Amino acid sequence: MRLVLVGPPGAGKGTQAQFIAEHLSVPKISTGDIFRANVSQGTPLGLQAKAYMDRGDLVPDGVTIEMVRDRLAQADATSGFLLDGFPRTTPQAQVLDDMLADAGVKLDVVLELVVENDEVIRRLSGRRTCRTCNHIWHVDFDPPADEGVCDLDGGALYQRDDDQAETIANRLEVYAKETAPLVNYYAERGLLIGLDATGPVDDVTQRAIDALRPLQHDF
């Protein structure tokens, strides 16, 4: 199965991507993993990306696309994959379609993790990070024994700038602007499945597996 996972920040894509990929016995391919691998290995694409990042610039789409193309060409992805973090925009989705068509295959399904904005803000704004060990706690879901103090090493906990409610709201606006057309693009092609991503992690994973089960009969 060839699957794309989409959803807003805080929807749990990274966690669900891992579990779903394991269930389907396909590699989880995230743009973050691809970037880290190329940069750490010093590949030509990694060196290009690093030059942009070192300047504080965004890595151009062209570099990202070529990294994805190289990763999808690797042996473990020839019979299926789960993409997390790509495509993010409709033009990227069209490039992915062309990539797969060149390989004689096509995308099977796009799974959208659906979470209300208020829940996303609650999830992300409640995170607290230890200044010493960087362990992340949550004021509601995983609070430390003593407020503001890390259970692991006694380090002070703080709220990262990225976890401020105002910053999260802005990220959600950007996501909606960029990704709403992408979701519509896949919906019009009959590839989109919306999945309620609220509740315990195991429950969300089971919903995903149940939603994908009918499609697995085709493979």
Question: Which of the residues are catalytic?
Answer: 13, 88, 127, 160, 171
The answer for 42, left when phi > 0, alpha when psi is -120 to 50, beta otherwise, is: left
* Angstrom distances, CA of residue 131 to CA of 157, 159, 174, 196: 6, 10, 29, 34
Q: In the 8-state DSSP scheme, what is residue 89?
A: S
Distance CA 112, CA 195 (A): 6
Residues constituting the chain? 219
Question: HSE (CB half, 13 Å, CA atoms) of 52?
Answer: 15
Task: Supply φ then ψ for residue 60, to 5 degrees.
Answer: -60, 155
Specify the pairing of strand 136-138 against strand 127-130. Answer: antiparallel
* 3-class state of residue 29 by DSSP: strand
